[in-house]
Amino acid sequence: MTATSAGVEGPPPEADELLALLRRVVGARVGGHPDAEDLVQEAYLRVLAASDRIDPGMTEAYAVTTARNLVASHWRQGDRFKRHQHRLVDLDEPDDPVRRMEGIEDQGAMARALATFTDDERELLVAHEVHGTPTAKLAAEQNSTAGAVAAKLHRLRARLRVEYLLAHENIDLPSDECRPVLVAVSLRDRRRQRETKAENHRLRCEVCQDLALRLEQQEPERDDFARIRIAVDADIVTARQKARELASALGFPGVDLTVIATAVSEMTRNIVRFAGEGQVEIELVNGEAPGRRGVQVIVRDAGPGIPDIEAAMRDGYSTYHGLGLGLPGARRLMDDFELVTADGRGTTITMTKWQQGAKK
């Protein structure tokens, strides 16, 4: 501290002295940050503006506090910016030339992605994501509620993730179905995924499957849902063990766990045998009766389909020298069983086991 700060009755510090003090305070906190000088000037202006309210001799203390507060709020804004950044893309500081080049490409892709949005949508995204305007303030400007704005931002971000990925990889989507499917995947919205038949589409469309897997990469692990790719023998075991694990969370008795695992084993084997590849989704679901829960297993492939369902559902029917028990057996094991198949378009089996469910 300078000598003047000690004297209670001392004259107010000169401008240069005050600026030097502010630079030290700010510099100690933000270092050589490009905004440092802005913060210093801002703090200085505030001190000058408040000079008639400051007790004599307290100017320095006031300046130091003001500078500290400014730095803190600057950090908060930066922090908010950082917290929201991941929703767009990972914008970690590039630390080597190659990554810096990628950064430049990123910006081009981002610009192309943003170009697919309307002006209003783009403005909203930029206001929130880049300038960090809170949703409450945006809602007030649009005569809307914070919740509605947040939901809209959520949808826009999901779309932006898709458009950014497409722009970055220079991908042209092969069909009109693709984009809604990818947005639904990006939204992690199961209902929308059902509406767009996302899962079936992904099994048919390699481009979308690849993109969807990447969009899902950041999907958090859920303890009430699992999706398992089925392509080889070992996947059958993985699938039935996962089904058992999820079902046990609902407190199913051991015998039901084995029953569910057996049904999953039978149905996923059909994929390996007949379709080559597919997937199984296992989800804990709510029944119509309140509090009644169950395990729903959806087994899906985009294989040849089943030409004669009636025959396939009959005991003893087998096309590969098996026991011919797969489909009718699984139907007996589960409470609900639904099979949808189309020639050349694959097969989807939805089966559910309910807690204390009555056998069919």
Partner 1 sequence: MSTGPALFSILRQGQYLVASVHTALDDSQMLRLQGDLVEEVGRSRSRGIIIDVAALDVLDSFGTKTLGAIAEMARLRGATTVIVGIQPDVAFAMVQLGMGTGAVATALDLEEGLAFLDDTLALPSTVRHGQ
Minimal distance in Å, beta carbon 270 to partner 1? 10
- Does 231 participate in binding partner 1 (rule CB under 8 A)? no
- Does 353 participate in binding partner 1 (rule CB under 8 A)? no
Q: Which helix (H) or strand (E) holds 197?
A: none
- Does 230 participate in binding partner 1 (rule CB under 8 A)? no
Minimal distance in Å, beta carbon 318 to partner 1? 9
Query: For residues 1 and 320, which CB has a smaller minimum distance to partner 1 in the complex?
Result: 320
Candidates 68-76, 99-107, 143-151, 254-262; binding stretch for partner 1 (CB under 8 A): 254-262
Beta bridge partners of 225: 283
Minimal distance in Å, beta carbon 236 to partner 1? 6
Member of 97, 220, 254, 291 binding partner 1 (CB under 8 A) = 254
- Does 57 participate in binding partner 1 (rule CB under 8 A)? no
- Does 332 participate in binding partner 1 (rule CB under 8 A)? yes
The footprint of partner 1 on this chain (CB under 8 A) covers a number of residues equal to 29
Q: Could you tell me which of 191, 194, 130 has the C-alpha nearest to residue 160?
A: 130
- Does 357 participate in binding partner 1 (rule CB under 8 A)? no
In angstroms, rounded to a whole number, what is the distance separating the alpha carbons of residues 150 and 40?
35
Instruction: Give me the residue label for tokens 């209902």.
Output: 191
Member of 40, 47, 156, 261 binding partner 1 (CB under 8 A) = 261
- Does 65 participate in binding partner 1 (rule CB under 8 A)? no
Q: Which helix (H) or strand (E) holds 318?
A: none
Candidates 92-100, 130-138, 157-165, 327-335; binding stretch for partner 1 (CB under 8 A): 327-335
Member of 6, 8, 255, 289 binding partner 1 (CB under 8 A) = 255
Residue 65 DSSP code: H
Q: Could you tell me which of 46, 83, 50 has the C-alpha nearest to residue 68?
A: 46
In angstroms, rounded to a whole number, what is the distance separating the alpha carbons of residues 211 and 203?
12
Query: For residues 192 and 244, which CB has a smaller minimum distance to partner 1 in the complex?
Result: 244
In angstroms, rounded to a whole number, what is the distance separating the alpha carbons of residues 311 and 326?
12
Transcribe 10-60 into DSSP letters: PPPPPHHHHHHHHHHHHHHHHTT-TTHHHHHHHHHHHHHHTTTTSPTT-HH
| 70 burial type by CB count under 10 A (0-12 exposed, 13-18 middle, 19+ buried) | buried
Member of 152, 159, 161, 244 binding partner 1 (CB under 8 A) = 244
- Does 323 participate in binding partner 1 (rule CB under 8 A)? yes
Helix, strand, or coil here: 217?
Answer: coil
Member of 328, 335, 340, 357 binding partner 1 (CB under 8 A) = 328
Minimal distance in Å, beta carbon 31 to partner 1? 54
Minimal distance in Å, beta carbon 228 to partner 1? 13
* CB 10 within 8 Å of CB 60: no
Query: For residues 116 and 265, which CB has a smaller minimum distance to partner 1 in the complex?
Result: 265
Backbone phi and psi for residue 246, each to the nearest 5 degrees, phi listed first = -65, -45
Minimal distance in Å, beta carbon 321 to partner 1? 9
Query: For residues 268 and 341, which CB has a smaller minimum distance to partner 1 in the complex?
Result: 268
Contacts for 188 with CB less than 8 Å, ≥ 6 apart: 158, 216, 219
Q: Could you tell me which of 94, 93, 95, 98 has the C-alpha nearest to residue 82?
A: 93
Contacting positions for partner 1 (CB under 8 A) = 233-234, 236-237, 240-241, 244, 254-255, 257-259, 261-263, 265-266, 269, 272, 315, 322-323, 325-326, 328-330, 332-333
